[in-house]
Chains A and B, each alone.
Chain A
Protein backbone atom coordinates (compact mmCIF):
# COMPACT_ATOMS: atom_id res chain seq x y z
CA UNK A 1 0.00 0.00 0.00
CA UNK A 2 3.00 2.27 0.42
CA UNK A 3 3.28 2.82 -3.34
CA UNK A 4 -0.18 4.40 -3.20
CA UNK A 5 1.34 7.57 -1.74
CA UNK A 6 3.59 8.06 -4.77
CA UNK A 7 0.71 7.35 -7.15
CA UNK A 8 -1.37 10.04 -5.44
CA UNK A 9 1.47 12.54 -5.72
CA UNK A 10 2.01 11.73 -9.41
CA UNK A 11 -1.70 12.08 -10.24
CA UNK A 12 -1.93 15.34 -8.27
CA UNK A 13 1.08 16.72 -10.12
CA UNK A 14 -0.50 15.82 -13.48
CA UNK A 15 -3.66 17.74 -12.53
CA UNK A 16 -1.74 20.72 -11.16
CA UNK A 17 0.02 21.14 -14.50
CA UNK A 18 -3.34 21.87 -16.13
CA UNK A 19 -5.19 23.56 -13.27
CA UNK A 20 -3.09 25.35 -10.74
CA UNK A 21 -5.62 25.94 -7.95
CA UNK A 22 -6.27 24.38 -4.59
CA UNK A 23 -9.81 22.95 -4.60
CA UNK A 24 -11.93 23.47 -1.51
CA UNK A 25 -14.15 20.53 -2.38
CA UNK A 26 -14.21 17.44 -4.55
CA UNK A 27 -17.51 16.36 -6.09
CA UNK A 28 -18.31 12.91 -7.47
CA UNK A 29 -21.17 12.95 -9.96
CA UNK A 30 -23.09 9.69 -10.21
CA UNK A 31 -25.40 8.11 -12.78
CA UNK A 32 -27.52 10.66 -14.65
CA UNK A 33 -25.99 13.65 -12.92
CA UNK A 34 -23.27 14.28 -15.44
CA UNK A 35 -25.02 17.39 -16.89
CA UNK A 36 -24.26 19.12 -13.64
CA UNK A 37 -20.66 19.77 -14.69
CA UNK A 38 -21.84 22.23 -17.37
CA UNK A 39 -22.49 24.75 -14.59
CA UNK A 40 -18.86 24.92 -13.54
CA UNK A 41 -17.29 28.33 -14.36
CA UNK A 42 -13.86 28.70 -16.01
CA UNK A 43 -13.74 24.94 -16.42
CA UNK A 44 -10.59 23.01 -17.13
CA UNK A 45 -11.43 19.53 -18.34
CA UNK A 46 -8.99 16.65 -18.01
CA UNK A 47 -9.77 13.20 -19.37
CA UNK A 48 -9.04 10.41 -16.88
CA UNK A 49 -6.66 8.75 -19.31
CA UNK A 50 -4.44 11.86 -19.17
CA UNK A 51 -4.08 11.50 -15.40
CA UNK A 52 -1.45 9.03 -14.20
CA UNK A 53 -2.85 6.05 -12.28
CA UNK A 54 -6.52 7.01 -12.86
CA UNK A 55 -8.57 4.07 -14.11
CA UNK A 56 -11.06 4.50 -16.95
CA UNK A 57 -14.79 4.53 -16.41
CA UNK A 58 -16.85 1.96 -18.33
CA UNK A 59 -20.31 2.46 -16.78
CA UNK A 60 -23.35 3.53 -18.81
CA UNK A 61 -23.80 7.35 -18.80
CA UNK A 62 -20.45 8.00 -17.13
CA UNK A 63 -18.10 10.12 -19.20
CA UNK A 64 -14.73 9.72 -17.52
CA UNK A 65 -13.26 13.17 -17.04
CA UNK A 66 -12.35 15.62 -14.33
CA UNK A 67 -13.84 19.12 -14.53
CA UNK A 68 -12.04 21.70 -12.41
CA UNK A 69 -13.29 25.27 -11.91
CA UNK A 70 -15.53 27.45 -9.80
CA UNK A 71 -19.00 26.79 -8.39
CA UNK A 72 -20.55 29.54 -6.26
CA UNK A 73 -17.12 31.12 -6.41
CA UNK A 74 -15.58 28.11 -4.66
CA UNK A 75 -12.76 26.24 -6.40
CA UNK A 76 -13.87 22.64 -6.87
CA UNK A 77 -12.98 19.57 -8.87
CA UNK A 78 -15.79 17.37 -10.12
CA UNK A 79 -15.53 13.80 -11.34
CA UNK A 80 -17.80 13.14 -14.28
CA UNK A 81 -17.87 9.40 -14.20
CA UNK A 82 -16.73 7.22 -11.33
CA UNK A 83 -15.38 3.74 -10.95
CA UNK A 84 -17.31 0.82 -9.54
CA UNK A 85 -16.34 -2.43 -7.89
CA UNK A 86 -18.58 -4.29 -10.38
CA UNK A 87 -16.42 -3.03 -13.25
CA UNK A 88 -13.64 -5.12 -11.79
CA UNK A 89 -11.54 -2.38 -10.22
CA UNK A 90 -9.93 -2.95 -6.84
CA UNK A 91 -11.28 -0.56 -4.18
CA UNK A 92 -7.87 1.10 -3.77
CA UNK A 93 -7.99 2.13 -7.43
CA UNK A 94 -11.62 3.27 -7.23
CA UNK A 95 -10.80 5.55 -4.34
CA UNK A 96 -7.56 7.00 -5.72
CA UNK A 97 -9.32 10.15 -7.03
CA UNK A 98 -10.52 10.98 -3.50
CA UNK A 99 -6.95 10.71 -2.22
CA UNK A 100 -5.85 13.02 -5.07
CA UNK A 101 -8.56 15.57 -4.18
CA UNK A 102 -7.25 15.58 -0.62
CA UNK A 103 -3.64 15.88 -1.79
CA UNK A 104 -4.59 18.93 -3.88
CA UNK A 105 -6.10 20.60 -0.82
CA UNK A 106 -9.80 19.62 -0.74
CA UNK A 107 -11.11 18.92 2.74
CA UNK A 108 -14.73 18.33 1.72
CA UNK A 109 -16.06 15.48 -0.41
CA UNK A 110 -19.52 15.73 -1.94
CA UNK A 111 -20.80 12.42 -3.32
CA UNK A 112 -23.91 11.89 -5.39
CA UNK A 113 -25.30 8.67 -6.78
CA UNK A 114 -28.41 6.91 -8.00
CA UNK A 115 -29.97 4.32 -5.69
CA UNK A 116 -32.95 2.06 -5.32
CA UNK A 117 -35.36 3.10 -2.59
CA UNK A 118 -36.41 0.46 -0.05
CA UNK A 119 -38.01 2.68 2.57
CA UNK A 120 -41.68 2.61 1.51
CA UNK A 121 -42.13 6.29 2.40
CA UNK A 122 -39.79 7.31 -0.41
CA UNK A 123 -40.87 7.96 -4.02
CA UNK A 124 -38.84 7.90 -7.25
CA UNK A 125 -37.21 11.25 -7.84
CA UNK A 126 -36.70 11.90 -4.12
CA UNK A 127 -33.32 13.06 -2.94
CA UNK A 128 -31.95 11.55 0.28
CA UNK A 129 -29.19 13.11 2.36
CA UNK A 130 -27.06 10.16 3.44
CA UNK A 131 -26.99 9.98 7.23
CA UNK A 132 -25.02 6.76 7.53
CA UNK A 133 -23.88 3.74 5.56
CA UNK A 134 -23.56 -0.04 5.68
CA UNK A 135 -20.69 -1.63 3.80
CA UNK A 136 -21.82 -4.96 2.33
CA UNK A 137 -19.31 -4.92 -0.52
CA UNK A 138 -17.26 -7.63 1.09
CA UNK A 139 -14.15 -5.50 0.79
CA UNK A 140 -12.60 -2.34 2.19
CA UNK A 141 -10.21 0.07 0.45
CA UNK A 142 -8.05 0.20 3.59
CA UNK A 143 -7.18 -3.51 3.65
CA UNK A 144 -3.40 -3.94 3.59
CA UNK A 145 -0.51 -2.29 5.39
CA UNK A 146 -1.62 1.14 6.60
CA UNK A 147 0.30 4.15 5.33
CA UNK A 148 0.23 6.47 8.35
CA UNK A 149 0.87 9.44 6.05
CA UNK A 150 -2.61 8.93 4.61
CA UNK A 151 -4.61 8.27 7.78
CA UNK A 152 -5.00 6.07 10.88
CA UNK A 153 -5.00 2.24 10.94
CA UNK A 154 -8.50 2.02 12.44
CA UNK A 155 -10.57 5.01 11.34
CA UNK A 156 -13.52 5.87 13.51
CA UNK A 157 -16.79 5.67 11.58
CA UNK A 158 -19.24 6.92 14.19
CA UNK A 159 -20.21 9.86 11.94
CA UNK A 160 -18.87 9.34 8.41
CA UNK A 161 -21.22 11.99 7.01
CA UNK A 162 -20.60 15.35 8.69
CA UNK A 163 -23.62 16.00 10.96
CA UNK A 164 -23.38 19.78 10.55
CA UNK A 165 -23.60 19.52 6.76
CA UNK A 166 -26.59 17.15 7.01
CA UNK A 167 -28.40 19.85 8.99
CA UNK A 168 -27.36 22.54 6.49
CA UNK A 169 -28.64 20.36 3.63
CA UNK A 170 -32.02 19.91 5.29
CA UNK A 171 -32.28 23.65 5.79
CA UNK A 172 -31.46 24.33 2.14
CA UNK A 173 -34.26 21.99 1.06
CA UNK A 174 -36.75 23.62 3.44
CA UNK A 175 -35.90 27.07 2.11
CA UNK A 176 -36.20 25.89 -1.50
CA UNK A 177 -39.49 24.19 -0.58
CA UNK A 178 -38.87 20.58 -1.61
CA UNK A 179 -38.89 17.47 0.54
CA UNK A 180 -35.59 15.78 1.25
CA UNK A 181 -35.17 12.40 2.92
CA UNK A 182 -32.47 11.47 5.39
CA UNK A 183 -31.48 7.85 5.72
CA UNK A 184 -29.08 4.94 5.60
CA UNK A 185 -27.46 3.71 2.39
CA UNK A 186 -26.22 0.15 2.00
CA UNK A 187 -23.62 -0.59 -0.67
CA UNK A 188 -23.49 -3.95 -2.42
CA UNK A 189 -21.17 -5.20 -5.14
CA UNK A 190 -23.63 -5.57 -7.99
CA UNK A 191 -23.78 -5.59 -10.94
CA UNK A 192 -27.00 -7.58 -10.76
CA UNK A 193 -29.87 -5.85 -9.02
CA UNK A 194 -31.15 -7.43 -5.83
CA UNK A 195 -33.59 -10.30 -5.62
CA UNK A 196 -36.78 -9.74 -3.64
CA UNK A 197 -35.29 -11.76 -0.81
CA UNK A 198 -32.17 -9.61 -0.86
CA UNK A 199 -34.26 -6.41 -0.69
CA UNK A 200 -36.08 -7.77 2.34
CA UNK A 201 -32.75 -8.65 3.92
CA UNK A 202 -31.24 -5.20 3.24
CA UNK A 203 -34.33 -3.48 4.64
CA UNK A 204 -34.26 -5.74 7.69
CA UNK A 205 -30.67 -4.78 8.50
CA UNK A 206 -31.66 -1.12 8.59
CA UNK A 207 -31.04 0.37 5.14
CA UNK A 208 -33.33 2.89 3.40
CA UNK A 209 -31.66 2.80 -0.02
CA UNK A 210 -29.28 0.46 -1.84
CA UNK A 211 -26.51 1.33 -4.29
CA UNK A 212 -23.33 -0.03 -5.84
CA UNK A 213 -20.93 2.83 -5.14
CA UNK A 214 -19.99 5.63 -2.74
CA UNK A 215 -19.08 3.59 0.35
CA UNK A 216 -15.43 3.01 -0.68
CA UNK A 217 -14.95 6.70 -1.51
CA UNK A 218 -16.49 7.77 1.80
CA UNK A 219 -14.33 5.35 3.80
CA UNK A 220 -11.22 6.81 2.16
CA UNK A 221 -12.43 10.37 2.71
CA UNK A 222 -12.94 9.65 6.43
CA UNK A 223 -9.52 7.95 6.56
CA UNK A 224 -8.05 11.13 5.02
CA UNK A 225 -9.78 13.36 7.56
CA UNK A 226 -12.15 14.93 5.00
CA UNK A 227 -15.68 16.06 5.79
CA UNK A 228 -18.35 14.34 3.70
CA UNK A 229 -21.75 15.32 2.31
CA UNK A 230 -23.64 12.58 0.47
CA UNK A 231 -26.76 12.68 -1.69
CA UNK A 232 -28.70 9.70 -3.05
CA UNK A 233 -31.21 10.12 -5.84
CA UNK A 234 -33.97 7.52 -5.58
CA UNK A 235 -34.40 6.44 -9.18
CA UNK A 236 -36.69 3.47 -8.62
CA UNK A 237 -38.53 1.84 -5.78
CA UNK A 238 -37.43 -1.61 -4.72
CA UNK A 239 -40.43 -2.89 -2.80
CA UNK A 240 -40.12 -6.65 -2.72
CA UNK A 241 -43.85 -7.32 -2.71
CA UNK A 242 -44.59 -5.27 -5.84
CA UNK A 243 -41.28 -5.44 -7.64
CA UNK A 244 -41.09 -4.48 -11.32
CA UNK A 245 -38.12 -5.13 -13.58
CA UNK A 246 -35.72 -2.17 -13.62
CA UNK A 247 -35.16 -0.31 -16.89
CA UNK A 248 -31.81 1.48 -17.08
CA UNK A 249 -33.18 4.24 -19.39
CA UNK A 250 -35.98 5.04 -16.92
CA UNK A 251 -33.52 5.14 -14.04
CA UNK A 252 -31.36 7.64 -15.89
CA UNK A 253 -34.43 9.74 -16.87
CA UNK A 254 -35.56 9.97 -13.23
CA UNK A 255 -32.04 10.80 -12.09
CA UNK A 256 -32.01 13.65 -14.62
CA UNK A 257 -35.41 14.91 -13.44
CA UNK A 258 -34.09 15.15 -9.87
CA UNK A 259 -31.13 17.24 -11.00
CA UNK A 260 -32.60 20.66 -10.01
CA UNK A 261 -32.96 19.54 -6.38
CA UNK A 262 -29.53 18.06 -6.37
CA UNK A 263 -28.05 21.20 -7.86
CA UNK A 264 -29.77 23.38 -5.24
CA UNK A 265 -28.33 21.22 -2.47
CA UNK A 266 -24.78 21.04 -3.82
CA UNK A 267 -24.64 24.76 -4.63
CA UNK A 268 -26.15 25.55 -1.22
CA UNK A 269 -23.52 23.49 0.56
CA UNK A 270 -20.76 25.23 -1.42
CA UNK A 271 -22.27 28.65 -0.61
CA UNK A 272 -22.27 27.60 3.05
CA UNK A 273 -18.61 26.60 2.72
CA UNK A 274 -17.78 29.98 1.22
CA UNK A 275 -19.59 31.69 4.10
CA UNK A 276 -17.39 29.75 6.52
CA UNK A 277 -14.35 31.54 5.01
Chain B
Protein backbone atom coordinates (compact mmCIF):
# COMPACT_ATOMS: atom_id res chain seq x y z
CA UNK B 1 0.00 0.00 0.00
CA UNK B 2 3.07 2.21 0.13
CA UNK B 3 2.52 3.04 -3.54
CA UNK B 4 -0.81 4.67 -2.67
CA UNK B 5 1.03 7.39 -0.78
CA UNK B 6 3.18 8.03 -3.86
CA UNK B 7 0.12 8.13 -6.13
CA UNK B 8 -1.57 10.66 -3.87
CA UNK B 9 1.59 12.76 -3.56
CA UNK B 10 1.90 12.93 -7.35
CA UNK B 11 -1.76 13.88 -7.73
CA UNK B 12 -1.50 16.50 -4.96
CA UNK B 13 1.59 17.99 -6.57
CA UNK B 14 -0.22 18.35 -9.91
CA UNK B 15 -3.18 20.12 -8.24
CA UNK B 16 -0.93 22.42 -6.20
CA UNK B 17 0.85 23.57 -9.35
CA UNK B 18 -2.47 24.77 -10.74
CA UNK B 19 -4.08 25.94 -7.49
CA UNK B 20 -1.87 27.08 -4.61
CA UNK B 21 -4.67 27.47 -2.01
CA UNK B 22 -5.18 25.05 0.85
CA UNK B 23 -8.72 23.65 0.70
CA UNK B 24 -10.78 23.35 3.87
CA UNK B 25 -13.10 20.73 2.37
CA UNK B 26 -13.41 18.33 -0.53
CA UNK B 27 -16.84 17.81 -2.06
CA UNK B 28 -17.62 14.68 -4.07
CA UNK B 29 -20.56 15.33 -6.37
CA UNK B 30 -22.71 12.32 -7.27
CA UNK B 31 -24.98 11.50 -10.20
CA UNK B 32 -26.81 14.58 -11.43
CA UNK B 33 -25.53 16.78 -8.60
CA UNK B 34 -22.70 18.28 -10.62
CA UNK B 35 -24.64 21.57 -10.76
CA UNK B 36 -23.49 22.31 -7.21
CA UNK B 37 -20.09 23.08 -8.71
CA UNK B 38 -21.66 26.11 -10.43
CA UNK B 39 -22.16 27.70 -7.00
CA UNK B 40 -18.42 27.75 -6.47
CA UNK B 41 -16.42 30.92 -7.25
CA UNK B 42 -14.02 29.09 -9.51
CA UNK B 43 -10.27 29.67 -9.42
CA UNK B 44 -9.43 26.81 -11.73
CA UNK B 45 -10.86 23.64 -13.20
CA UNK B 46 -8.59 20.65 -13.65
CA UNK B 47 -9.48 17.81 -15.97
CA UNK B 48 -9.02 14.39 -14.35
CA UNK B 49 -6.80 13.50 -17.30
CA UNK B 50 -4.32 16.11 -16.01
CA UNK B 51 -4.15 14.62 -12.51
CA UNK B 52 -1.71 11.69 -12.26
CA UNK B 53 -3.35 8.39 -11.24
CA UNK B 54 -6.85 9.77 -11.73
CA UNK B 55 -8.78 7.63 -14.12
CA UNK B 56 -11.48 8.60 -16.57
CA UNK B 57 -14.97 8.64 -15.10
CA UNK B 58 -17.29 6.63 -17.38
CA UNK B 59 -20.49 7.00 -15.37
CA UNK B 60 -23.65 8.66 -16.64
CA UNK B 61 -23.93 12.29 -15.44
CA UNK B 62 -20.32 12.47 -14.28
CA UNK B 63 -18.01 14.99 -15.92
CA UNK B 64 -14.56 14.09 -14.70
CA UNK B 65 -13.04 17.34 -13.49
CA UNK B 66 -11.84 18.92 -10.28
CA UNK B 67 -13.26 22.38 -9.57
CA UNK B 68 -11.08 24.47 -7.24
CA UNK B 69 -12.33 27.72 -5.77
CA UNK B 70 -14.33 29.28 -2.96
CA UNK B 71 -17.76 28.59 -1.54
CA UNK B 72 -18.99 30.87 1.28
CA UNK B 73 -15.46 32.38 1.18
CA UNK B 74 -14.00 29.00 2.14
CA UNK B 75 -11.47 27.38 -0.20
CA UNK B 76 -12.93 24.07 -1.43
CA UNK B 77 -12.34 21.56 -4.14
CA UNK B 78 -15.25 19.76 -5.79
CA UNK B 79 -14.91 16.46 -7.59
CA UNK B 80 -17.28 16.48 -10.55
CA UNK B 81 -17.31 12.78 -11.21
CA UNK B 82 -16.26 9.87 -9.03
CA UNK B 83 -15.02 6.35 -9.56
CA UNK B 84 -17.41 3.46 -9.04
CA UNK B 85 -16.66 -0.17 -8.40
CA UNK B 86 -19.19 -1.17 -11.03
CA UNK B 87 -17.06 0.65 -13.62
CA UNK B 88 -14.34 -1.88 -12.87
CA UNK B 89 -12.28 0.38 -10.58
CA UNK B 90 -10.88 -0.96 -7.34
CA UNK B 91 -12.09 0.36 -4.00
CA UNK B 92 -8.62 1.88 -3.62
CA UNK B 93 -9.08 3.87 -6.85
CA UNK B 94 -12.57 4.88 -5.74
CA UNK B 95 -11.04 6.29 -2.55
CA UNK B 96 -8.56 8.57 -4.37
CA UNK B 97 -10.66 11.77 -4.16
CA UNK B 98 -10.88 11.45 -0.36
CA UNK B 99 -7.17 10.89 0.03
CA UNK B 100 -6.24 13.69 -2.37
CA UNK B 101 -8.44 16.07 -0.36
CA UNK B 102 -6.60 15.11 2.82
CA UNK B 103 -3.19 15.36 1.14
CA UNK B 104 -3.93 18.93 0.08
CA UNK B 105 -4.68 19.91 3.65
CA UNK B 106 -8.46 19.65 4.04
CA UNK B 107 -9.90 17.81 6.99
CA UNK B 108 -13.51 17.65 5.85
CA UNK B 109 -15.11 15.56 3.14
CA UNK B 110 -18.62 16.13 1.85
CA UNK B 111 -19.97 13.24 -0.21
CA UNK B 112 -23.22 13.22 -2.11
CA UNK B 113 -24.92 10.50 -4.07
CA UNK B 114 -28.12 9.43 -5.76
CA UNK B 115 -29.77 6.57 -3.91
CA UNK B 116 -32.83 4.38 -4.04
CA UNK B 117 -35.17 4.83 -1.09
CA UNK B 118 -35.91 1.71 0.96
CA UNK B 119 -37.58 3.43 3.89
CA UNK B 120 -41.28 3.73 2.99
CA UNK B 121 -41.44 7.22 4.51
CA UNK B 122 -39.05 8.60 1.88
CA UNK B 123 -40.25 10.19 -1.38
CA UNK B 124 -38.52 10.85 -4.68
CA UNK B 125 -36.63 14.14 -4.51
CA UNK B 126 -36.09 13.96 -0.73
CA UNK B 127 -32.64 14.44 0.74
CA UNK B 128 -31.22 12.23 3.51
CA UNK B 129 -28.21 13.01 5.64
CA UNK B 130 -26.26 9.79 6.03
CA UNK B 131 -26.16 8.80 9.68
CA UNK B 132 -24.38 5.50 9.13
CA UNK B 133 -23.63 3.01 6.38
CA UNK B 134 -23.46 -0.71 5.66
CA UNK B 135 -20.75 -1.92 3.33
CA UNK B 136 -22.24 -4.62 1.07
CA UNK B 137 -19.78 -4.01 -1.76
CA UNK B 138 -17.56 -6.97 -0.89
CA UNK B 139 -14.58 -4.62 -1.18
CA UNK B 140 -12.69 -2.25 1.10
CA UNK B 141 -10.12 0.38 0.05
CA UNK B 142 -7.94 -0.51 3.05
CA UNK B 143 -7.24 -4.11 2.05
CA UNK B 144 -3.52 -4.67 1.72
CA UNK B 145 -0.49 -3.62 3.69
CA UNK B 146 -1.42 -0.64 5.84
CA UNK B 147 0.51 2.59 5.37
CA UNK B 148 0.67 3.97 8.91
CA UNK B 149 1.28 7.46 7.49
CA UNK B 150 -2.19 7.42 5.97
CA UNK B 151 -4.02 6.00 8.95
CA UNK B 152 -4.36 3.11 11.41
CA UNK B 153 -4.56 -0.57 10.49
CA UNK B 154 -8.00 -0.96 12.08
CA UNK B 155 -9.90 2.31 11.79
CA UNK B 156 -12.78 2.78 14.21
CA UNK B 157 -16.13 3.04 12.43
CA UNK B 158 -18.37 3.66 15.41
CA UNK B 159 -19.24 7.10 14.07
CA UNK B 160 -18.15 7.52 10.45
CA UNK B 161 -20.32 10.61 9.84
CA UNK B 162 -19.63 13.77 11.83
CA UNK B 163 -22.37 14.63 14.31
CA UNK B 164 -21.77 18.36 14.18
CA UNK B 165 -22.13 18.32 10.39
CA UNK B 166 -25.36 16.33 10.72
CA UNK B 167 -26.69 18.92 13.15
CA UNK B 168 -25.81 21.78 10.79
CA UNK B 169 -27.60 19.97 7.94
CA UNK B 170 -30.69 19.55 10.13
CA UNK B 171 -30.63 23.26 11.09
CA UNK B 172 -30.37 24.32 7.45
CA UNK B 173 -33.32 22.11 6.52
CA UNK B 174 -35.46 23.55 9.33
CA UNK B 175 -34.53 27.12 8.47
CA UNK B 176 -35.16 26.59 4.76
CA UNK B 177 -38.31 24.59 5.48
CA UNK B 178 -37.70 21.33 3.63
CA UNK B 179 -37.79 17.68 4.71
CA UNK B 180 -34.41 16.16 5.59
CA UNK B 181 -34.21 12.52 6.56
CA UNK B 182 -31.46 10.97 8.62
CA UNK B 183 -30.73 7.36 7.86
CA UNK B 184 -28.52 4.45 6.90
CA UNK B 185 -26.95 4.06 3.44
CA UNK B 186 -26.37 0.54 2.12
CA UNK B 187 -23.64 0.36 -0.52
CA UNK B 188 -24.13 -2.31 -3.17
CA UNK B 189 -21.74 -3.22 -5.96
CA UNK B 190 -24.17 -2.66 -8.87
CA UNK B 191 -24.45 -1.95 -11.78
CA UNK B 192 -27.76 -3.82 -11.74
CA UNK B 193 -30.47 -2.08 -9.74
CA UNK B 194 -31.72 -4.16 -6.84
CA UNK B 195 -34.22 -6.97 -7.30
CA UNK B 196 -37.31 -6.84 -5.08
CA UNK B 197 -35.74 -9.52 -2.88
CA UNK B 198 -32.54 -7.49 -2.60
CA UNK B 199 -34.54 -4.39 -1.58
CA UNK B 200 -36.25 -6.40 1.14
CA UNK B 201 -32.88 -7.73 2.29
CA UNK B 202 -31.30 -4.29 2.43
CA UNK B 203 -34.30 -2.96 4.37
CA UNK B 204 -34.26 -5.88 6.81
CA UNK B 205 -30.57 -5.32 7.39
CA UNK B 206 -31.35 -1.82 8.56
CA UNK B 207 -30.85 0.27 5.43
CA UNK B 208 -32.91 3.33 4.57
CA UNK B 209 -31.42 3.89 1.12
CA UNK B 210 -29.31 1.82 -1.27
CA UNK B 211 -26.65 3.07 -3.65
CA UNK B 212 -23.49 2.10 -5.52
CA UNK B 213 -20.88 4.56 -4.26
CA UNK B 214 -19.70 6.71 -1.33
CA UNK B 215 -18.67 4.00 1.13
CA UNK B 216 -15.12 3.47 -0.25
CA UNK B 217 -14.52 7.25 -0.05
CA UNK B 218 -15.90 7.49 3.46
CA UNK B 219 -13.83 4.56 4.69
CA UNK B 220 -10.67 6.18 3.31
CA UNK B 221 -11.68 9.54 4.82
CA UNK B 222 -12.20 7.99 8.25
CA UNK B 223 -8.90 6.15 7.88
CA UNK B 224 -7.38 9.59 7.40
CA UNK B 225 -9.37 10.89 10.39
CA UNK B 226 -11.39 13.36 8.33
CA UNK B 227 -14.81 14.73 9.30
CA UNK B 228 -17.45 13.47 6.89
CA UNK B 229 -20.84 14.77 5.80
CA UNK B 230 -22.82 12.39 3.59
CA UNK B 231 -25.93 13.36 1.64
CA UNK B 232 -28.20 11.07 -0.38
CA UNK B 233 -30.78 12.26 -2.85
CA UNK B 234 -33.70 9.85 -3.12
CA UNK B 235 -34.00 9.41 -6.87
CA UNK B 236 -36.32 6.44 -6.92
CA UNK B 237 -38.30 4.54 -4.34
CA UNK B 238 -37.80 0.80 -4.15
CA UNK B 239 -41.19 -0.55 -3.23
CA UNK B 240 -40.80 -4.32 -3.53
CA UNK B 241 -44.52 -4.98 -3.27
CA UNK B 242 -45.47 -2.69 -6.14
CA UNK B 243 -42.41 -2.80 -8.34
CA UNK B 244 -41.79 -0.17 -10.96
CA UNK B 245 -38.82 -0.15 -13.27
CA UNK B 246 -35.97 2.33 -13.01
CA UNK B 247 -33.65 3.78 -15.64
CA UNK B 248 -30.46 5.77 -15.24
CA UNK B 249 -32.20 8.78 -16.79
CA UNK B 250 -35.09 8.71 -14.26
CA UNK B 251 -32.47 8.83 -11.54
CA UNK B 252 -30.78 11.87 -13.06
CA UNK B 253 -34.07 13.75 -13.46
CA UNK B 254 -34.96 13.23 -9.78
CA UNK B 255 -31.47 14.25 -8.69
CA UNK B 256 -31.83 17.58 -10.46
CA UNK B 257 -34.96 18.47 -8.45
CA UNK B 258 -33.17 17.95 -5.14
CA UNK B 259 -30.16 19.95 -6.23
CA UNK B 260 -31.32 23.22 -4.59
CA UNK B 261 -31.81 21.60 -1.17
CA UNK B 262 -28.45 19.94 -1.39
CA UNK B 263 -26.74 23.18 -2.30
CA UNK B 264 -28.16 24.90 0.81
CA UNK B 265 -26.91 22.15 3.11
CA UNK B 266 -23.45 22.14 1.56
CA UNK B 267 -23.23 25.96 1.80
CA UNK B 268 -24.23 25.85 5.46
CA UNK B 269 -21.73 23.14 6.27
CA UNK B 270 -18.86 24.79 4.41
CA UNK B 271 -19.65 28.13 6.10
CA UNK B 272 -19.06 26.43 9.47
CA UNK B 273 -15.45 25.81 8.41
CA UNK B 274 -14.65 29.53 8.09
CA–CA, A219 and B85, complex, Å: 17
Q: Which residue of A lies closest to B242 (CB)?
A: A158
- Chain B 165-204 interface 0/1 with A at a Cβ cutoff of 8 Å (1 = within): 0000000000000000000000001111111111011001
Query: B44 contacts the other chain (Cβ, under 8 Å)?
Result: no
Query: A156 contacts the other chain (Cβ, under 8 Å)?
Result: yes
CA–CA, A267 and B89, complex, Å: 43
Q: Is the interface of B mostly helix, strand, loop or mixed?
A: loop
CA–CA, A155 and B190, complex, Å: 9
> Could you tell me the distance in whole angstroms from the C-beta of A140 to the nearest C-beta in chain B?
5
Whether the Cβ atoms of A143 and B88 lie closer than 8 Å is yes
Stretch binding the partner chain, chosen from A67-75, A130-138, A240-248, A253-261: A130-138
B residues less than 8 Å from A152 (CB atoms): 247-248
B residues less than 8 Å from A144 (CB atoms): 87-88
Query: B157 contacts the other chain (Cβ, under 8 Å)?
Result: no
CA–CA, A154 and B84, complex, Å: 13
**Interface residue total, chain A, C-beta cutoff 8 A:** 31
**Residue in B189, B193, B205, B248 whose CB lies within 8 Å of A157:** B193
Residues A145-191 near B (CB distance < 8 A): 145-146, 152-160, 184, 186
CA–CA, A128 and B159, complex, Å: 43
Query: B49 contacts the other chain (Cβ, under 8 Å)?
Result: no
**Residue in A132, A133, A158, A222 whose CB lies within 8 Å of B246:** A158
Known: A138-B138, A204-B204. A158 touches B248 (CB 8 A): no
CA–CA, A219 and B59, complex, Å: 19
Query: B149 contacts the other chain (Cβ, under 8 Å)?
Result: no
Query: B20 contacts the other chain (Cβ, under 8 Å)?
Result: no
- Chain B 75-86 interface 0/1 with A at a Cβ cutoff of 8 Å (1 = within): 000000000011
A residues less than 8 Å from B204 (CB atoms): 204-206
**Residue in A140, A159, A204, A206 whose CB lies within 8 Å of B192:** A140
> Could you tell me the distance in whole angstroms from the C-beta of B215 to the nearest C-beta in chain A?
14
Q: Which residue of A lies closest to B85 (CB)?
A: A143
**Interface residue total, chain B, C-beta cutoff 8 A:** 29
> Could you tell me the distance in whole angstroms from the C-beta of B135 to the nearest C-beta in chain A?
11
Whether the Cβ atoms of B192 and A155 lie closer than 8 Å is yes
Known: A154-B193, A154-B248, A206-B204. A142 touches B198 (CB 8 A): no
B residues less than 8 Å from A140 (CB atoms): 86, 189-192
Q: Which residue of A lies closest to B137 (CB)?
A: A138
CA–CA, A80 and B104, complex, Å: 57
Q: Which residue of A lies closest to B195 (CB)?
A: A157
Query: B244 contacts the other chain (Cβ, under 8 Å)?
Result: yes
Query: B272 contacts the other chain (Cβ, under 8 Å)?
Result: no
Whether the Cβ atoms of A143 and B86 lie closer than 8 Å is yes
Q: Is the interface of A mostly helix, strand, loop or mixed?
A: loop
**Residue in B190, B200, B244, B251 whose CB lies within 8 Å of A206:** B200
Query: B146 contacts the other chain (Cβ, under 8 Å)?
Result: no
Query: B2 contacts the other chain (Cβ, under 8 Å)?
Result: no
> Could you tell me the distance in whole angstroms from the C-beta of A198 to the nearest C-beta in chain B?
14
B residues less than 8 Å from A133 (CB atoms): 195, 197-198
> Could you tell me the distance in whole angstroms from the C-beta of B198 to the nearest C-beta in chain A?
5
**Residue in A138, A146, A206, A219 whose CB lies within 8 Å of B201:** A206
CA–CA, A138 and B140, complex, Å: 12
CA–CA, A187 and B21, complex, Å: 50
Query: A207 contacts the other chain (Cβ, under 8 Å)?
Result: yes
> Could you tell me the distance in whole angstroms from the C-beta of A44 to the nearest C-beta in chain B?
34
Residues A101-157 near B (CB distance < 8 A): 132-135, 138-140, 142-146, 152-157
- 27 residue pairs of the A-B complex, CB under 8 angstroms, read A1-B88, A132-B195, A132-B196, A133-B195, A133-B197, A135-B198, A138-B138, A139-B189, A140-B189, A140-B191, A143-B190, A153-B60, A154-B60, A154-B190, A154-B246, A155-B192, A157-B194, A157-B198, A158-B243, A158-B244, A159-B196, A159-B245, A160-B195, A204-B204, A205-B201, A205-B204, A207-B197
6 additional contacts (CB under 8 A) given A139-B189, A153-B60: A134-B201, A135-B192, A154-B60, A156-B246, A158-B196, A204-B204
Please report B residues at the A interface, Cβ cutoff 8 Å: 58-60, 85-88, 138, 189-198, 200-201, 204-205, 243-248, 251
Rank and list the top 10 A-B pairs by shortest CB-CB distance, nearest first: A138-B138, A144-B88, A158-B243, A205-B201, A132-B197, A156-B245, A157-B195, A184-B197, A154-B248, A206-B200
